[in-house]
Chain A
Amino acid sequence: MKLITAILKPFKLDEVKDALQAAGVTGMTVSEASGFGRQGGHTEVYRGAEYTVDLIPKIRLEVLVDDADSASVVDVIVKAASTGSIGDGKVWTTAVDQVVRVRTGERGSDAI
């Protein structure tokens, strides 16, 4: 099993979520995140004083999938999240040892 973690532009969340659901993904976890990459921060102005804000808001989306689905789900996310401009984010996968569904106690692939 794999945990797919994606950092996205906030406004792309709906498209990515719809694309994942269309691809048969049945669950995900979404949280607000902040950070920076090559895009860097941005500038804000308060009463004429300019501040460079390093951390900019992003969405972190996490999906658990079977090993076999991992590559195709990553492709779905990348395709839906892409605008072609800097700051589109990143997607990575992590190996997962065990998954348990709390309600039923199912383990492994059955719990996804």
Chain B
Amino acid sequence: MEEVVLNTGDTAWMIISAGLVTLMIPGLALFYGGMVRVKSVLNMMMMSFGALAIVFTLWIAFGFSMVFGDSIGGKGLIGDVTQFIFLKGLDNPTALIGTIPAAVFIAFQGIFAAITVALISGSIADRAKFGAWMVFAGIWATIVYFPVAHWVFAFDDFVAATGGWIANDLGAIDFAGGTAVHINAGAAGLALSIILGKRIGFGKSPMRPHNLPLVMLGAALLWFGWFGFNAGSAVASNGTAGLALLNTIAATVAAVLAWLLVEKIRDGHATSLGAASGVVAGLVAITPACASVSASGALLIGLVAGVICALSVGLKFRFGFDDSLDVVAVHLVGGIIGTLMIGFVGVDVGLFNGGGSSQLGKQAIGVLAVFSYSFILSLIIGKIVDLAMGFRVSEDEEISGIDLAIHAERGYELTDNTQGSVFSASKGA
């Protein structure tokens, strides 16, 4: 590898980007938390915070090495877990990756792993044991996310000499994680909603979002954090980052318009939940494409994602899987749309831009590979966790509320006159 030197502009932008993507975790917690009923808001938010805690710990231990270590046997399937185990040689002030400190790149990419796992939790709202979720999160990150991120994000000669097959051999374009993050999480969400089964009363009794302002706030924080996610994926402070930033806004506003139009025409009302959902659908769809389309291409991707994701929400009722907060309709479907549409509107490579159909074929292979791998492995891991420790809370606990049953807390205390009779001081020292 040629000699690299630290670039302060790149470093500054990537430190900020790492902060921005970290903000997506509480953003997602609020987005999901507002959408569930009062009795499970804390559990919903805890699944995001818990995913961050377990996944980033594994990331430091061996995750980074599995993703960015030299591809074992040069096959592009999985990185060498021993090469950077416990960040060997990288967690110091002088090691560089590209033009930035290795530490910054490691932190930035580690949050990608955490947010991908956190996204899955939306499919199992109100009913998953927290401990089982944490075990699943750790195993899933290890067996599914780390390999897939190696396929997609590990370019040859960037961190290590040999990288993943989708990035290098296939040549599918996935700038910030349409496949590795969103299709991956969406497929796992579908699998887990099948493993855990439907909530009591699904499709019969109302399961209304308990706090839509929280959902709107969460969507706004996700959007803000996504600037780091997409523009930060340039791993540089340059024109590519700038274009990614612009397209991240363009696709998102188009998706909001599209989702609201679908609602107005179909249901008669443009809703705040629809606007927040449109925001996330647009962000998801532009994620793989943000550096390889024009602004008008981004608008088109957003419009298509807004319409199709809004219509896809009905699939769970038709096929009877309780994907509670629509991880499938927003992340799986949105991820597929964004990844495939590069094949149509990608600058120079898209069918509409004189690039022929070869890129579209590569994109489709990337979609199919990640979806199949994630869906099948997620079914297996979910089933094993369920058999080993029981993934689902009891019927009693589900009805009375998972917050109180699992966490011994309630999200809201709206009056101050609940009298306790026994108080015991902290068990801590």
Contacts and interface: CB of A to CB of B under 8 A. Distances in A.
A51 to B, nearest CB: 4
Contacts of A48: 263, 266-267, 310, 313-314
Interface in A41-77: 44-53
B209 to A, nearest CB: 6
Contacts of A46: 208-209, 271, 273
B283 to A, nearest CB: 17
B206 A51 contact: yes
B6 to A, nearest CB: 47
Interface string A70-106: 0000000000000000000000000000000000000
A45 B206 contact: no
Contacts of B326: 47
Contacts of A53: 206
A71 to B, nearest CB: 36
B255 to A, nearest CB: 14
A49 B209 contact: no
A92 B206 CA distance: 32
A53 B205 CA distance: 10
Contacts of A45: 263, 267-269, 271
B215 to A, nearest CB: 10
Interface in B254-296: 263, 266-269, 271, 273-274, 277
B317 interface: yes
Interface residues of A, number: 10
A46 B314 CA distance: 11
Contacts of B277: 47
Interface in B290-339: 310, 313-314, 317, 326
Choose among A46, A47, A50, A53 the residue with the greatest number of B CB atoms under 10 Å from its CB: A47
Contacts of B273: 46-47
Q: Is the interface of A mostly helix, strand, loop or mixed?
A: strand
A47 B274 contact: yes
A48 B209 CA distance: 13
A14 B317 CA distance: 44
Nearest to B269: A45
Q: What band does the interface of chain B fall in when counting residues whose beta carbon is under 8 Å from A?
A: 10 to 19
A42 B267 CA distance: 14
B208 A47 contact: no
A47 to B, nearest CB: 5
B318 to A, nearest CB: 12
Nearest to A54: B206
Contacts of B267: 45, 48, 50
B252 to A, nearest CB: 18
Contacts of A44: 206, 208
Interface in B200-225: 206, 208-209
A48 B312 CA distance: 10
A52 B266 CA distance: 17
A100 to B, nearest CB: 22
A16 to B, nearest CB: 25
A98 to B, nearest CB: 26
A34 B174 CA distance: 51
A48 B313 CA distance: 8
B277 to A, nearest CB: 6
Contacts of B208: 44, 46, 51
Interface string A25-53: 00000000000000000001111111111
A47 B262 CA distance: 10
A50 B310 CA distance: 14
A33 to B, nearest CB: 16
A53 B269 CA distance: 17
Contact of B313 (A47, A50, A51, A52): A47
Interface in B99-156: none
Contacts of A50: 267
11 contacts: A44-B206, A45-B263, A45-B271, A46-B273, A47-B271, A47-B326, A48-B266, A48-B310, A48-B313, A48-B314, A50-B267
Interface of B: 206, 208-209, 263, 266-269, 271, 273-274, 277, 310, 313-314, 317, 326
User: Which 10 pairs between the two chains have the least Cβ-Cβ distance?
Assistant: A51-B206, A45-B267, A47-B313, A48-B313, A46-B273, A45-B269, A47-B273, A48-B267, A46-B208, A48-B314
